[in-house]
């Protein structure tokens, strides 16, 4: 019988969670928008639906005891109905949040803070994973790197960027283990890196000199709107430029998984093919 439902299963973290659960021999069901085009590891059940339509989630929860939740929206509107649906079938919930929740300096961190409050009041046995900036966000630079080797964008304060495989490894342990109910785990990489550092390390991984070019926020706003991104999303993303520097580094990844958190340099080597 399937026991774990993974939402956001086609995303960078969700797909890793699915893969690691399957590798551990854990029955898993992936919740995706399009079952026909989604490819998952062998043995994974696929359930089609959308978190904006809780009735589709209800069908996917049949036989599920534990849920990994990635919230894909910019507000918590609709979350109470989703959490009530989950609580009607499952017992445990593991939520992917942000390490910036306590600072709440921008809409994304405020959203995660709202979600955490709703989850704590849901009646579910919950665990929160507060991840620092996730390394796979850098995949969005691939087009610029291939084009001319210059990554142009607004700068954000350096943080201890964390490999998505480490976030997933912690999630897999928490989803299948004991002793994590009511816990909030903060996940970071082992060193604080800037955007310029990340671009340089990607260049070293692919054997090409790359550089980061800071773009004014207003210019970035114009470009993102011209690309067709929703205005609310643009403003939420640009708000991250106001985040303060964070020197927070935790040992949580190693404590839970038994292996040290990977560096961004390791991430760049793992994903060099995505930038060539």
pLDDT average per 10 residues of sequence, the chain (276 residues): 87 96 94 89 92 93 96 94 96 96 82 96 97 96 96 93 98 95 98 97 97 91 87 82 86 98 98 96
Any domain includes 217: no
Nearest Cα to Cα of residue 67 among 10, 122, 16, 124? 124
Cα–Cα distances in Å, from 80 out to 59, 68, 173? 17, 16, 26
Which residues does 243 contact at the CB level (< 8 Å), separation at least 6?
A: 100, 103, 105, 106, 156, 157
- The HSE-up count of residue 268 (CA atoms within 13 Å, CB side) is 21
Q: Are 168 and 19 in contact (CB under 8 A)?
A: yes
What is the reported pTM? 0.93
Within a domain: 195: no
Per residue in 68-124, pLDDT (tens digit) is 999 999 899 999 999 999 999 999 999 999 998 887 678 889 999 999 999 999 999
Q: How far is CA 35 from the centre of its chain?
A: 21
Indicate the helix (H) or strand (E) that contains 97.
Answer: strand 92-98
Classify residue 138: in a domain, yes or no.
Answer: no
The CATH number of residue 43's host domain is 3.40.50.720
Distance of CA 25 to the CA centre of its chain: 23
* Residue 39 falls inside a structural domain: yes
Query: pLDDT at position 35, please?
Result: 83
Q: Are 129 and 185 in contact (CB under 8 A)?
A: yes
Residue 83 lies in a domain: yes
Within-domain flag for 37? yes
pLDDT for the residue numbered 2: 57
Per the domain annotation, does 224 fall within a domain? no
Residue 269 lies inside a defined structural domain of this protein: no
pLDDT of residue 234: 83
Q: Which domain holds residue 90?
A: 4-131+164-187+249-259
Is 50:70 a contact under the CB 8 Å cutoff? Answer: no
Looking at the structure of the chain, the number of domains it has is 1
Do 57 and 5 contact (CB within 8 A), yes or no?
Answer: no
Helices marked H in the chain — which ranges? 12-23, 54-60, 79-87, 107-120, 142-148, 164-176, 195-206, 217-226, 231-238, 252-257, 264-270
């Amino acid at each position: 019988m399937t026991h774990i439902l993974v939402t956001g299963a086609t995303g960078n973290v969700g797909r890793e969670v699915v893969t690691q659960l399957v590798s551990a021999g854990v029955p898993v069901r992936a919740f995706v928008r399009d079952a026909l085009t989604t490819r998952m590891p062998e043995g994974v059940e696929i359930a089609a639906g959308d978190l904006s339509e809780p009735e589709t989630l209800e069908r996917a929860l049949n036989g599920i005891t534990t849920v990994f939740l990635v919230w894909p929206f910019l507000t918590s509107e609709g979350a109470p109905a989703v959490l009530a649906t989950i609580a009607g079938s499952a017992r445990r919930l593991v939520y992917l949040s942000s390490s910036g929740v306590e600072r709440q300096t921008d809409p994304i961190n405020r959203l995660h803070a709202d979600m955490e409050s709703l989850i704590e009041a849901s009646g579910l046995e919950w665990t929160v994973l507060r991840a620092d900036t996730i390394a796979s966000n850098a995949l969005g630079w691939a087009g610029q790197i291939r084009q001319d080797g210059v990554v142009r964008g607004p700068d954000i304060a350096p943080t201890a960027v964390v490999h998505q495989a480490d976030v997933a490894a912690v999630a897999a342990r928490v989803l299948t283990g004991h002793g994590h109910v009511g816990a909030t785990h903060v996940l970071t990489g082992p060193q604080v890196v800037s955007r310029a550092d990340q671009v340089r390390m990607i260049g070293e991984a692919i054997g090409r000199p790359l550089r980061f070019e800071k773009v004014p926020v207003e210019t970035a706003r114009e470009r993102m709107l011209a690309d067709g991104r929703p205005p609310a999303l643009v403003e939420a993303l640009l708000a991250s430029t106001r985040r303060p520097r964070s020197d927070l580094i935790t040992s949580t990844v190693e404590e839970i998984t038994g292996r040290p958190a990977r560096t961004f340099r390791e991430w760049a080597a793992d994903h060099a093919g995505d930038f060539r």
